[in-house]
Structure 1
Amino acid sequence: MEEEKKKVVSELKKACINCGAELKYKPGTTNITCEYCGHEEIIVQDQDGFKELELKPYLDEMGSQSHSQEIMMLHCKNCGANQHIEENYKSLHCVYCTMPLIVEDAYKEDWILPGAVLPFQFDQKKSHQIFSKWVKGLWFAPNNLKKAALDPQNTKGLYLPYWTFDAQLHATYTGERGDYYYVSVPYTTTVNGKTVRRTRQERRTRWTPASGNINGFIDDTLIKASHQKKNAIPSKISNWNLDSLQPFNTSFLSGFVTEKYTIPLKDGHLSSTKEAEKIAISWARRDIGGDTQRVHDVDMSLSEQTFKHILLPVYISAYRYSGKKYNFFVNGQTGTISGSRPYSFWKIFFFVVFIIVLVTILIFISS
């Protein structure tokens, strides 16, 4: 087992056969490349595909040593993030809050090896272009915001840890099926000073008891595996196409920061079970049919449960404007961006004045 660990760790870095420099992953490809001489090598893919791990042995702490690896970690005392940092970094800053990290504080820790990784699809330069386009499209932004100081050293590609869970779902349910029907309801109204009797159609629901069984496969329930005390990843960018996952290979991590999961597998499984319950209710509603449904009780069980530890890509950075720091995040696969931004007081002020004047004119004309 120790020999296996040493082999895995040594594969985290690969030297260029021409100049000896470290080969790093080239986003959007399946290659690692040398930034100095341009030499490229193909990342050899695992022909066995993804490694789905049986869930129960891990929850029972029987499988804690299998499919595990020892890595070097640094803990940010400011925001609490746990980051895997490469040995050749000389100037270290937290990828989330940019606070300095101390190399001497690095410690070794085991983690469950990722079963899959979603590689970055574009480089740091492209993430800056996305930022510039985003800035130009902001409403009520100061005119000179495009001159914001964006430090390339503060832009980091980060692999975020997630759990995915698969399971066969079996459930029985009881509820009610609702079918709409319409009735004519008389009412009175006044027309030209006279009382007039009319009818209108009102919708009613006819409820009938329903029960049944539902079965199906739940594939890749995605559960976040880390907490961010500060600068949490916005939900707006947290959408990835998992069909593009690649079998895990450490070469994809070269040149990027990797965050270690801080939400234990057990807690992740509890969250996935809650998601499975929501899925069971949705399937029960579909099975009941009709125009609307009531689900009173669902008795659910999960079997053949497996999981993966996967890594998903995001660029994190900060820019300065008028002496204040703002953060932004870019999805490393789709290019979706979200971030904090400054507002122009005068633009908002004159816009409000314009609205007030416009409303006043409209009121004056209508009167």
Structure 2
Amino acid sequence: MTSITPTTHPCGGCGASVRYAPGTAVLRCPYCGHEQPIAAPARQVREHSFDAFLAQPRAGEVAAHRFSCPGCGARTESDALSTNCQFCATALVADTSKGAQVAPEAVLPFALDRRAARDAMRGWTRTRWFAPNRLKKVSEAESMKSTYLPHWTFDAGTVSDYSGQRGEHYYVTETYTSNGQTKTRQVRRTRWYSASGRVSRHFDDVLVAATGKLPRERLDALEPWALERVVPFEPGYLSGHHSLRYDTEPDSGLEQAKAKMAKVIEDDCKRHIGGDTQRLHEVRTGYSGVTFKLVLLPVWIGSYLYGGRPYQIMINGVGGEVQGDRPYSTVKITLAVLAAVAVVAALVLLYLGQRG
């Protein structure tokens, strides 16, 4: 277990622990309101060679951090990169330059404060189809925690050789009988031709969640992220906010990134084949110049109670996109189904009446 003397940011006015103020570049004291700027980074955001990473010795299981609070002296264990002391609320940030894990290279600072996150949640609850009417009155989560979540980004050059078929449509005239009358119609057919070729593409910042503690599909749904606004990692942005360390290793993340790249490459191959429609039989892709970095993305994670049951929501801390669980109204769903059945029945009666 790693014992850590965490990074802290004391207030220059009263000595209390300051927090990063979302939407700014300052640390603000929650007690006296004193503000102090976050130090300007002395470097640019960097990409790291994936081959160089693979050549390094791999660490075994990473133990939890043991934080030693400089405020009250309490010792706590946590898997977080940043947290608050549970006894005196001092904001604690781990020294990421030490330890077995890859250090964060960049951070996308929170732009939405707690009030803005609450407004985003309120708007979300009011626009849920088939939600109970009382859900619209839920305006604030029972708990709402600003949390930086680890993500990998990958860059790579790709060259893909493919084989498949190009389909070209043509039409033939077909004769058929309807109600005793002979009629003709145009029917589409497709001629298939063998096709093969090579396509290339450079991928930049293919994003993959580096934590399995939250549903991956829901994290993906929080996209897009304003990655052009990331800044070099600086501990001050984490002060007063929770931050998870990654539990998905870079090599596993790269495989997920390749799956995302494969979908784009498949579309490239189909465009290269041309024609009216395409079939792909095989795609062989080579990767070169693979680089990666660890970036921390801001998410408000909250839960609310409805009908005695907790529901979780997540809010993109920059764009305000909301994803989460919600209750459904059986009454509204039943009424919608009955209305649909009534419409179908009316159309059937109208059709039968016209035929009669």
Q: Structure 1 length normalisation: TM-score?
A: 0.77
The residue that corresponds to 1:263 in the other structure is 248
Residues 1:246 and 1:73: Cα distance change in structure 2 (over 3 Å): farther
- After alignment, is 301-310 or 36-45 more displaced? 36-45
Matched, 1:36 2:41: no
Structure 2, gaps ≥5 residues long: 68-77, 90-97
Paired residues for 1:211-230 under 5 Å: 211-228=196-213
| CA offsets 1:337-365 (integer angstroms, 9 cap, x no match) | 12223344555566666667777788889
Q: Aligned partners of 1:295, 1:360: CA distance in 2, in Å? A: 44
Q: Aligned partners of 1:236, 1:189: CA distance in 2, in Å? A: 50
The residue that corresponds to 1:159 in the other structure is 148
The residue that corresponds to 1:328 in the other structure is 313
Paired residues for 1:103-252 under 5 Å: 110-145=100-135, 148=138, 150=140, 154-190=143-179, 194-196=180-182, 198-228=183-213, 233=218, 235-252=220-237
Q: Aligned partners of 1:183, 1:232: CA distance in 2, in Å? A: 45
Q: Aligned partners of 1:345, 1:161: CA distance in 2, in Å? A: 38
Matched, 1:272 2:267: no
Residues 1:313 and 1:73: Cα distance change in structure 2 (over 3 Å): farther
Q: Aligned partners of 2:346, 2:181: CA distance in 1, in Å? A: 39
Whether the 8 Å contact between 1:71 and 1:84 is mirrored in structure 2 is no
Matched, 1:290 2:275: yes
Matched, 1:342 2:331: no
Whether the 8 Å contact between 1:21 and 1:34 is mirrored in structure 2 is yes
Deviation, 1:147, is 5.2
Deviation, 1:245, is 2.0
- After alignment, is 238-247 or 340-349 more displaced? 340-349
Whether the 8 Å contact between 1:72 and 1:109 is mirrored in structure 2 is no
Q: Aligned partners of 2:278, 2:335: CA distance in 1, in Å? A: 50
Deviation, 1:34, is 2.0
Deviation, 1:53, is 0.6
**Matched AA of 2:114:** Q
Whether the 8 Å contact between 1:330 and 1:336 is mirrored in structure 2 is yes
**Matched AA of 2:152:** W
Deviation, 1:163, is 1.0
Whether the 8 Å contact between 2:82 and 2:244 is mirrored in structure 1 is no
- After alignment, is 112-121 or 231-240 more displaced? 231-240
**Matched AA of 2:262:** E
**Matched AA of 2:120:** I
The residue that corresponds to 2:83 in the other structure is 86
Q: Aligned partners of 2:173, 2:337: CA distance in 1, in Å? A: 48
Deviation, 1:175, is 2.2
Q: Aligned partners of 1:33, 1:221: CA distance in 2, in Å? A: 34
Whether the 8 Å contact between 1:70 and 1:110 is mirrored in structure 2 is no
Residues 1:201 and 1:249: Cα distance change in structure 2 (over 3 Å): same
Whether the 8 Å contact between 1:71 and 1:109 is mirrored in structure 2 is no
- After alignment, is 266-275 or 229-238 more displaced? 229-238
Q: Aligned partners of 1:249, 1:210: CA distance in 2, in Å? A: 51
Whether the 8 Å contact between 2:80 and 2:244 is mirrored in structure 1 is yes
The residue that corresponds to 1:72 in the other structure is 65
Among residues 295, 304, 309, which one is paired with 1:310 in the alignment?
A: 295
CA RMSD, aligned part only? 3.6
Residues 1:359 and 1:178: Cα distance change in structure 2 (over 3 Å): closer
Structure 1, gaps ≥5 residues long: 1-5, 75-80, 93-107
Q: Aligned partners of 2:230, 2:252: CA distance in 1, in Å? A: 23
Residues 1:59 and 1:352: Cα distance change in structure 2 (over 3 Å): same
Whether the 8 Å contact between 2:118 and 2:139 is mirrored in structure 1 is no
Question: Percent identity of the aligned residues?
Answer: 34
Any idea what SS the aligned residue of 2:326 has? coil
Residues 1:271 and 1:326: Cα distance change in structure 2 (over 3 Å): closer
